[in-house]
Amino acid sequence: MSRFFSEKYIDLEPYVPGEQPRNQQYVKLNTNENPYPPLPEVTKAVEEASRKLYLYSDTECVDLRKALARRLEISPDELLMTNGSDEILNFAFMAFCDKHTPAYFADITYGFYPVFAAINRVPYETIPLRDDLTINIADYYHKAGTIFIANPNAPTAIALRAREIEEILKRNPYNVVIVDEAYVDFGAESCVPLIRKYDNLLVTQTFSKSRSMAGARLGMGIGNPELIRDLNTVKYSTNPYNVNSLTAAAGVASLKNDEYNRENSLKIMDTRDQYGRKLRELGFEMTESQANFFFARHPEIPGEELYLELKKRGVLIRHFNAERIKDYNRITIGTPEQMDRLVEEIKAILEDRK
Ligand code: PMP
């Protein structure tokens, strides 16, 4: 730390993203990216947009919001585009939390929530998941602040039904409830159809997972126009050009053939079924995944050891040190070929331990 670092950030513990190794070719199953690249039309749209790089990007993302609103069957004024969904989540902490309006989220959930709370000096309370890592919705009734729920949850991969989230919304009419749907396209139910019924609902989604655009950084907030206006106030006070023009063009092109994205999600769900069975046959215990990753533990191998052994053998998965989940690993669902390699290496590791 330099002697100039602001006192207000001295205790800040930044978020630790998954490794993005440059030194070696790994089978990369550690950051929940989509294993299928975007269509050539997306690349072409980026190339075309690059000719206009001398101009600032459209602060309102008009074309993108129009296309997305059509796709989600909502109106463009119910949408705000951001630099990844991380940005909309940060905006939500800025807009809807303060020292009198704390944040509430699960003890095991997306690791960025406590960091956003810390940088915005928002107090927060964590709500423990049950022993089986599911959410007890009654724990979220009548809270005194803003609620953040990742659905499906990460890293557990477990989803709530939309009607369960509706119970939480009904019992928090004076609080904003943020439903982080980063992984919703892999089989869970979206809460987007509820935004007109509940003016306290903000849904966040991303192009990073089901639309194969993690590197482009494109996310969104979906909610009542008044909530969106508040979020825009924050956006225009921090970074009006938060979505660059290449990313916006890629987003529009991606939506032109959203069927392709949908098919890839179905392929990933199919791979999930197939390799979930194989991993269980090898002795893994895992949650019921409704996301593009497994959350799994093996009774014979400590979580960290499996992660390190696989890394030595060229397969990267994600391990978390938090006490409650240290036996587990989060494993992104890749192509069947990548998953074959994972299974092969796990078999070899298990064999070596005999
Ligand atoms: N929410 C959850 C639950 C996530 O796991 C992630 C991805 N790490 C995000 C939000 C943010 O994703 P992005 O910023 O790429 O949209």
**Closest among 328, 342, 331 to 298, alpha carbons compared:** 328
Domain 7-36+259-352 in this protein, CATH class: alpha beta
Residue 22's pLDDT is: 83
Sole residue written with tokens 């696989």:
310
208 ligand 1 Cβ < 6 A: yes
Distance 352 CA to ligand 1 centre (A): 36
User: What are the beta bridge partners of residue 179?
Assistant: 149, 203
Sole residue written with tokens 């979220």:
140
Phi-psi domain of 103 (left: phi exceeds 0; alpha: psi -120 through 50; beta: other): beta
Residue 19's pLDDT is: 85
Are 7-36+259-352 and 51-257 equal in CATH topology? Answer: no
Residue 98's pLDDT is: 97
150 ligand 1 Cβ < 6 A: yes
For residue 76, CA distances in Å to 80, 162, 224, 318 come to: 8, 23, 11, 37
* CATH number for domain 51-257, candidates 3.40.50.300, 3.40.640.10, 3.40.50.10330, 3.30.70.360: 3.40.640.10
Listed by start position, the domains of the chain span 7-36+259-352, 51-257
Residue 353's pLDDT is: 85
86 ligand 1 Cβ < 6 A: yes
pLDDT tens for the chain, 354 residues long, are 999 999 999 999 999 998 888 877 999 999 999 999 999 999 999 999 999 999 999 999 999 999 999 999 999 999 999 999 999 999 999 999 999 999 999 999 999 999 999 999 999 999 999 999 999 999 999 999 999 999 999 999 999 999 999 999 999 999 999 999 999 999 999 999 999 999 999 999 999 999 999 999 999 999 999 999 999 999 999 999 999 999 999 999 999 999 999 999 999 999 999 999 999 999 999 999 999 999 999 999 999 999 999 999 999 999 999 999 999 999 999 999 999 999 999 999 999 988
Ligand 1 atom nearest to CA at 206: 16
**Closest among 194, 191, 198 to 172, alpha carbons compared:** 198
Residue 105's pLDDT is: 98
Distance 31 CA to ligand 1 centre (A): 10
Structure tokens at 164: 């369960």
Residue type, 239: N
33 ligand 1 Cβ < 6 A: no
Residue 21's pLDDT is: 85
Q: What is the β-pairing status of strands 79-82 and 219-223?
A: antiparallel
Instruction: Give kind and range of the element (H or E) at residue 201.
Output: strand 201-206
Chain centre distance of CA 282: 28
**Closest among 331, 30, 295, 264 to 158, alpha carbons compared:** 295
- What lies within 8 Å, CB to CB, of 24 at 6+ separation is 314
In the chain, how long is the greatest CA-to-CA distance?
Answer: 63
What's the CA gap between 342 and 311, in Å, rounded?
11
